[in-house]
Amino acid sequence: MVSYKELGLVNSRELFKKAIEGKYAIPAFNFNNMEQMQAIIQACVEESSPVILQVSSGARKYANQTLLRYMAQGAVEYAKELGKLIPIVLHLDHGDSFELCKSCIEYGFSSVMIDGSHFSYDENVALTRKVVEYAHQYDVTVEGELGVLAGIEDDVVAAAHIYTQPEEVEDFVSKTGVDSLAISIGTSHGANKFKPEQCTRNADGVLVPPPLRFDILEAIEKRIPGFPIVLHGSSSVPQQYVETINKYGGKLKDAIGIPEEELRHASQSAVCKINIDSDGRLAMTAAVREVFATSPEKFDPRQYLGPAREELKKLYRHKVVNVLGSAGKA
Ligand code: G3H
Ligand code: 13P
Ligand code: ZN
């Protein structure tokens, strides 16, 4: 067993408290390789933002649990070397069992999500409660989820949103003891969050998706004032990446994300953690495809992963400065 405290990581409790008071959100960026981790740390150190390094169960299998533990420790040391020890959380994204959450805690995670949202309400409560009881012994914070996001989460696919029911949140939070709650108000995972026929066109001809259900968020905030809320599925799917990918041989169709304006608005509420994965995937893929297409003679991975890392860093800096408002809050 290694405690996250020995690795120099922090849990999310204090960060969320400050984020709600300060009306900004902490970025939760998914990673599973070195270049992504370097880009996240470089961007957040340069912008002095706290950060949540987020690992899905698939990412953990891909990267290896032992390597991840040392990468997280490396991230802390790397931030110091770059000149600023920003608060860094290592968080399990969409944990689907007690055993996985326990194992992550034993390998140095400072925060875990137990996602029981696909179970019945009572099963969700029981599973989440069990994880909280274990995690809190080690001062590890726990995120639960109520409501189901449409789209793909690891192997689970939901055809439609099941919005969070505000009348359930007080009971869920008090019975489980969770430290934060992920809710469903219209975001979804992946790069295809809306169908074009669900959208309208603005004056510039840009597709505008249906608005998020801020009425549900407000009703939740009224019932559990000041309680940390999490938004999953919050990539904005920048169209310049989609265009670059398709220009250089990709086949992305109808890729539409959450408008940044809505995320800016959410960041000023009790939403204090915003999950972004797909935008990073798009940035990396666009950069790699461009190198492959325009410089076919290159074959040193540093020649395409280097530009991909630069593009990622640009994206993350943009998010913390212009969308989440976490720059300068470390
Ligand atoms: O919520 C899902 C995250 O984007 C992680 O995706 O399970 O493919 O690593 P993944
Ligand atoms: P996106 O697919 O919108 O990036 O969402 C990521 C996420 O919610 C990870 O848990
Ligand atoms: Zn998610």
Terminal CA-CA length for the chain: 28
pLDDT at 326 over 90: yes
Tell me if the pTM is above 0.95.
yes
pLDDT for residue 156: 61
Q: Give the pLDDT confidence of 137-155 residue by residue, as tens digits.
A: 999 999 999 999 987 665 6
CB of 189 sitting under 6 A from ligand 1: yes
pLDDT for residue 151: 78
93 is catalytic: yes
Which residue has a Cα nearest atom 8 of ligand 1?
154
Residues 6+ apart with CB under 8 A from 234: 187, 258, 263, 266, 274, 275, 276
Measure 153 CA to ligand 3 centroid, in angstroms.
7
Residues 6+ apart with CB under 8 A from 91: 12, 28, 52, 53, 54, 55, 109, 110, 111, 112, 113, 143
pLDDT for residue 153: 61
Measuring CA to CA, how many Å separate 47 from each of 226, 231, 310, 313, 324?
26, 22, 15, 11, 12
Measure 231 CA to ligand 1 centroid, in angstroms.
14
Q: Which residue has the tokens 């290159």?
A: 298
Neighbours of 138 (CB within 10 A): 16
Q: What CATH topology corresponds to 9-324?
A: TIM Barrel (3.20.20)
CA distance 275 to 107: 22
Measure 278 CA to ligand 2 centroid, in angstroms.
6
| Residue to mutate (ligand 1; options 31, 153, 188; most atoms within 8 A of CB) | 153
Q: Note the ligand closest to the C-alpha atom of 234.
A: 2
Share of the chain above pLDDT 90, in %: 95
Q: How confident is the model at residue 206 (pLDDT cuts 50, 70, 90)?
A: confident
CB of 35 sitting under 6 A from ligand 1: no
pLDDT at 205 over 90: no
Mean predicted confidence (pLDDT) in 287-300: 98
List residues, by chain if needed, whose CB lies under 5 Å from ion ligand 3: 232
pLDDT at 239 over 90: yes
Measure 57 CA to ligand 2 centroid, in angstroms.
13
CB of 36 sitting under 6 A from ligand 1: no
pLDDT for residue 161: 85
Least confident of 128-132, 143-147, 158-162, 319-323: 158-162
Supply the DSSP symbol for 153: E
